[in-house]
Amino acid sequence: MAASKPSADASSNIPDYEYAEVNTKPFHIGSFRNEWLKRLKPGDFSFQLEDEETFDANFARELRVDAETMAEIKSICSLDSLRCHPEDQQPDTNVVPDDPTLKTLIQRKKRQDYRATLKTPKNRHDLFTDELERAAIGKNPETVTNMIAEGELLLTVNVYYPPVVEKFQYVRPHMTLLMTGSHSLAELRDAICCVSDLQVCGEFSNTPDIAPDFISKDHFKSAFFFFEGIFYNDMRYPECQDISMTTIEWAKTHNFPTFSQAKMEDTRFADLKVKVGFPYLYCHQGDCEHLVIITDIRLMHTSDCLDKRLYPLLTHKHRVLTKKCAVCHVYIGRWFTTNDQFAPSNPCLFCDKCFRLLHYDAQGKKLGDFLAYPYVDRGAFN
Amino acid sequence: MDTPQKLVKTDCEEILHRFQQQESVRFEIFSKIWREMKFSEIFYGLPAQHEKRKFSRLILDTACSYLLPPYSFQIRVGGLYLLYSLYRCQTFSPPEQIRVALKDWEYVEKFEKDALEAKHLDVVYILHQLMCFKAFHFTAMPTLLTFQKKRQKEKPRLCEGFIERASRPQELINIELLEELSNIHDIYGKLKTSASLMSEDAPTPVNLTHKDLIPKLRSTVVDFYTWQQKRIESDEEDYSGEGTSSQQESSKRAEKLAAIKSRAFGQATEAAKSRRHRQVEVDLTSNQAGPSNSSGHTRLSKPSLKVRTNENLHISSDLWKEATATTKISRLTALDFVPEEKPKKNYRKSNKKVKTAKEST
Ligand SMILES: [Zn+2]
Ligand SMILES: [Zn+2]
């Protein structure tokens, strides 16, 4: 099942840098988890919060502290001892206080004053980021069966868009997904939204209603991930092919280190041996290639989303501007036509509604001469 | 303009510096400085939720480094107090967590053990409180890694003044030890002479002791100390730029550091007594180079990944062309590039974009 085996040497499962602050050396994810669990008490990673009395009692017992000393420590270390404003005045935490002395605040004040001169409302991007933030935080399921187990791993996975345009080297648009250590690579695959899966190839001016039946995703199901010398192929459906074979054979004849294969549906993240921060590959639709970087692995925390059903959890998605319909300028383009006598340009982009109103009569009969191709906007997933 | 990273670091080092000057490991002292500096306000003035989180992330990551070696015990206590205070003063809920990497956990455990042994109840209490609040994320690495190689990134600077100077040689080879050693040496020598006197015809006894062991040992330690002092001096000069008066100050500071440490650990030995040998006059010409580990960080520079890939991959030009040529699908799936920062401008251009896109299809 698992293609990579945990290393017997414990220290090799303690992640360390290969290149400082860039990426780690390879380590086995499941064994990394075990190393943490070995060092911690179950209470340390439990989702239950310990109440104050239990904590005090334990502390006093463990350190053999009498009640008087305990009360003293508690008062010294209380939150009150850190309060920087009079007790009866609640400051407005959304503004920088006057006459700050901290360097951070001096600069923030300058920026705040500058912003005030602009009088711009909160921009849409900010709002959207806030929205995703809220979606990601602290969701608990009603039933225990949907609850994530304590000590489970949480992985942050970035999937990048195909780097075709030069500008990609500076901006790196991607989506960010949260996965658990028990998820299979097939589950990651299903969570990746890429427009190439939605492409429909062909001309449908005579039969626009059947176009959705020809979505690429349903026709070309093969795909693979590549991590540390192993191709993980999607073999869930009879139509699936091992599309990594070509590369493996090529590598053999070109004096490369040998690669091996495994099934993505049989491989959990906990079974993988990877480098954190290192770019790997996801390939689907034959040649649509995405870089995949596992940017973080850690133990699940009580404030994380603990509802199994909400994973894989999307926490970031690059927004692209959509191309709008040439007629209404409101809706996203769904069709483009060529040799079209009704169109202002050749080719021309239409939303579904305008396309049908303009090119078909009430009975759905094609009017005039034109060719129509389904169009999938890059912003379709926004 | 300074980066937020730099400013946050400056603020953290300022509070730790003030704490260091107080020569204390008490939370009471730390919280007093915190209030004086109005450090809670560092979270103020960030209205957007994601800005708040981003800033918390930054300052917790920054503060976390002071909890770990190579910083001195006192600074690490300050680092712990700083983390605790920052964690508790975040202005939103749930708060951001403190990230601790698996490789660093042993240092936290050792730190707790030291604090426990020295009976620093407030240190242990605060650490246990953080565990109780579930304030830690138990992670693979200290930060998220995105294979971002920054162009000429500034090397993270360690705050020299916070680093613990090695003082073990001085502590071990103190004046009492030297006296004791010298006594034993004498007694042994006398015993041996008396033994050889008793049997006159015996062969000359094997010489197992170094005659000048004690003076040699002492001068070695003195050499080390002198070398260390010189390093502190030169660091100080780099730091403050005023060379003449720093000599005295720096040795004073070193004494202070050592004193804090021994006090921090509640050691019975008096620092001044155990360091009596330092006052011995020093031959300045001896062994200027000092211990050999002075070279600091030397890193082998490996060629970049790109270079290594190109070296490993010999692709004939035709193949390469084929590989880089885009297919229809990949062109369809490629994003077109609209920087997100200026949505207004782009909005007006979007009609034109449709046209160009159409022409290309
Ligand atoms: Zn794709
Ligand atoms: Zn329309």
A84/B138 CB distance under 8 A: no
**Whole-number percent of chain A with pLDDT over 70:** 85
**Whole-number percent of chain B with pLDDT over 90:** 36
Q: Judge if A223 and A372 occupy the same domain.
A: no
Residue A217: nearest ligand to its CA? 1
Q: Judge if B212 and B80 occupy the same domain.
A: no
Q: Judge if A361 and A228 occupy the same domain.
A: no
B105/A345 CB distance under 8 A: no
Residue A46, in any domain of the structure:
no
Output the pLDDT for position B55: 95
Mutate to test the interface with A, among B30, B141, B361 (most CBs of A within 10 A): B141
CB atoms within 10 A of CB B360: 8
End-to-end CA distance of chain A: 36
Q: What is the CA radius of gyration of chain B?
A: 31
Of the candidates B170, B172, B108, B100, the one whose C-alpha atom is nearest the C-alpha of residue B140 is: B100
Output the pLDDT for position B9: 95
Which range is least confidently modeled, A166-170, A178-182, A340-344, B163-167? A166-170
Q: Judge if B47 and B178 occupy the same domain.
A: no
- Evaluate if residue B248 carries a pLDDT over 70: no
Residues bordering ligand 2, an ion, CB closer than 5 Å: A 325, 327-328, 331, 351, 354
Size of interface A-B (CB pairs under 8 A): 274
- Shortest Cα–Cα distance, B358 to chain A (Å): 5
Measured between beta carbons, the chain B residues lying within 8 angstroms of A76 are 27-28, 31, 122
Residue B287, in any domain of the structure:
no
Instruction: Return the biggest CA–CA distance within chain B.
Output: 116
Angle formed by the axes of helices B73-88 and B102-117, to 10°? 110
Q: Judge if A227 and A271 occupy the same domain.
A: yes
User: Alpha helices of chain B — where are they, by DSSP H?
Assistant: 4-21, 27-37, 49-64, 73-88, 102-117, 121-132, 168-172, 175-198, 213-240, 246-264, 271-274, 305-312, 317-324, 328-333, 343-360
Q: Strands A223-227 and A174-180, how do they pair?
A: unpaired
Q: How far is CA B357 from CA A235, A320, A332, A375, in A?
A: 36, 15, 14, 12
Query: Between residues B248 and A79, which one has the greater pLDDT?
Result: A79
- CA A259/CA A229 separation, integer angstroms: 5
Using the structure block, give the residue that is written with the tokens 């060379």.
B243
Range of the domain at B189: 169-200+207-245
- Asked, as a colleague might, if the bond just before A6 is cis with ω within 30 of 0, I would say no
How far does residue B334's CA lie from ligand 1's centre (Å)?
A: 9
How far does residue A164's CA lie from ligand 2's centre (Å)?
A: 29
Output the pLDDT for position A209: 80
How far does residue B186's CA lie from ligand 1's centre (Å)?
A: 84
Convert the pLDDT of each residue in B82-138 to its tens digit: 999 999 999 988 899 999 999 999 999 999 999 999 999 999 999 999 999 999 999
Convert the pLDDT of each residue in B332-341 to its tens digit: 444 444 444 4
- ipTM for this prediction: 0.86
* Contact by Cβ (8 Å): A83, B35: yes
DSSP assignment, residue A137?
B
- CA A351/CA A339 separation, integer angstroms: 17
Q: Judge if A155 and A303 occupy the same domain.
A: yes
* CA B3 to chain CA mean position, Å: 21
* Contact by Cβ (8 Å): B84, B130: yes
- CA B198/CA B192 separation, integer angstroms: 10
Residue A100, classed as helix, strand or coil, is coil
The two tokens of residue B171 are 């502590």
B146/A285 CB distance under 8 A: no
- CA B76/CA B67 separation, integer angstroms: 4
Output the pLDDT for position B291: 41
Residue B57, in any domain of the structure:
yes
Residue A152, in any domain of the structure:
yes
Q: Strands A230-233 and A260-263, how do they pair?
A: parallel
Range of the domain at A253: 147-199+212-317
Of the candidates B349, B354, B347, the one whose C-alpha atom is nearest the C-alpha of residue A335 is: B354
Mutate to test the interface with A, among B99, B314, B329, B359 (most CBs of A within 10 A): B329
Residue A173, in any domain of the structure:
yes
- CA A259/CA B235 separation, integer angstroms: 52
User: Looking at this protein, which amino acid is placed at residue A207?
Assistant: T
Residue B88, in any domain of the structure:
yes
Residue B255, in any domain of the structure:
no
Q: Judge if B217 and B117 occupy the same domain.
A: no
- Shortest Cα–Cα distance, B244 to chain A (Å): 30
Q: Judge if B99 and B182 occupy the same domain.
A: no
Of the candidates B36, B203, B345, the one whose C-alpha atom is nearest the C-alpha of residue A102 is: B36
> Number of structural domains, chain A?
2
- CA B209/CA B154 separation, integer angstroms: 53
Residue A171, in any domain of the structure:
yes
The two tokens of residue A194 are 């890429």
- CA A305/CA B51 separation, integer angstroms: 21
- Evaluate if residue A214 carries a pLDDT over 80: no
Q: Judge if A305 and A355 occupy the same domain.
A: no
- Evaluate if residue B346 carries a pLDDT over 60: no
Measured between beta carbons, the chain B residues lying within 8 angstroms of A281 are none
Query: Between residues A206 and A305, which one has the greater pLDDT?
Result: A305
Residue A290, in any domain of the structure:
yes
> Number of structural domains, chain B?
2
User: Alpha helices of chain A — where are they, by DSSP H?
Assistant: 29-39, 42-45, 52-62, 67-76, 103-118, 124-136, 185-191, 216-219, 245-253, 352-359
The DSSP code sequence of B214-283 is HHHHHHHHHHHHHHHHHHHHHHHHHHHS--TTHHHHHHHHHHHHHHHHHHHTT-SS-HHHHTGGGGS---
Q: What angle do CA A105, A107, A112 make, to 5 degrees?
A: 85
Q: Judge if B82 and B17 occupy the same domain.
A: yes
Output the pLDDT for position B157: 74
Q: Judge if B15 and B63 occupy the same domain.
A: yes
Query: What are the phi and psi torsion angles at A329 (to 5°)?
Result: 55, 20
* CA B259 to chain CA mean position, Å: 20
- CA A326/CA B352 separation, integer angstroms: 11
B44/A126 CB distance under 8 A: no
B138/A40 CB distance under 8 A: yes
Residue A102, in any domain of the structure:
no
Highest mean pLDDT among A259-263, B184-188, B328-332: A259-263
* Contact by Cβ (8 Å): A318, A174: yes
The two tokens of residue B311 are 């070296």
Q: Judge if A313 and A347 occupy the same domain.
A: no
Measured between beta carbons, the chain A residues lying within 8 angstroms of B116 are 63
Of the candidates A335, A376, A333, the one whose C-alpha atom is nearest the C-alpha of residue A359 is: A335
- CA A375/CA A364 separation, integer angstroms: 20
Using CB atoms, pick whichever of B89, B329, B335 lies closest to residue A286: B329
Specify the CATH number for the domain of residue A251: 3.10.290
B31/A82 CB distance under 8 A: yes
Residue A161: nearest ligand to its CA? 1
Instruction: Return the biggest CA–CA distance within chain A.
Output: 94
Q: B138: part of which helix (H) or strand (E)? A: strand B136-139
Residue B297, in any domain of the structure:
no
Residue A157, in any domain of the structure:
yes
Q: How far is CA B43 from CA A92, A96, A151, in A?
A: 11, 9, 31
CA within 13 Å, CB half, A328 = 14
Q: What angle do CA A110, A116, A122 make, to 5 degrees?
A: 115
A24/B11 CB distance under 8 A: no
Output the pLDDT for position B232: 65
Residue A198: nearest ligand to its CA? 1
Q: Judge if B183 and B117 occupy the same domain.
A: no
Q: Judge if B117 and B184 occupy the same domain.
A: no
Angle formed by the axes of helices B121-132 and B73-88, to 10°? 40
Measured between beta carbons, the chain A residues lying within 8 angstroms of B48 are 122, 126, 129-130
Query: What are the phi and psi torsion angles at B105 (to 5°)?
Result: -65, -35
Highest mean pLDDT among B51-55, B206-210, B326-330, B349-353: B51-55
Residue A70, in any domain of the structure:
no
B335/A318 CB distance under 8 A: yes
Rounded to an integer, the average pLDDT of A76-99 is 91
Confidence of residue B268 (pLDDT cuts 50, 70, 90): very low
Q: Judge if A261 and A194 occupy the same domain.
A: yes
Q: Judge if B128 and B11 occupy the same domain.
A: yes
Q: Judge if A265 and A351 occupy the same domain.
A: no
- Shortest Cα–Cα distance, B162 to chain A (Å): 20
Q: Judge if A292 and A158 occupy the same domain.
A: yes
Output the pLDDT for position B356: 41
Q: Judge if B140 and B10 occupy the same domain.
A: yes
Strands (E), chain A: 17-19, 23-24, 27-28, 153-160, 174-180, 223-227, 230-233, 260-263, 273-274, 279-284, 288-299, 313-317, 335-338, 348-350, 371-374
Confidence of residue B141 (pLDDT cuts 50, 70, 90): very high
Q: Judge if B31 and B116 occupy the same domain.
A: yes
B140/A32 CB distance under 8 A: yes
Q: Judge if B40 and B123 occupy the same domain.
A: yes
The two tokens of residue A353 are 């509604």
CB atoms within 10 A of CB A24: 23
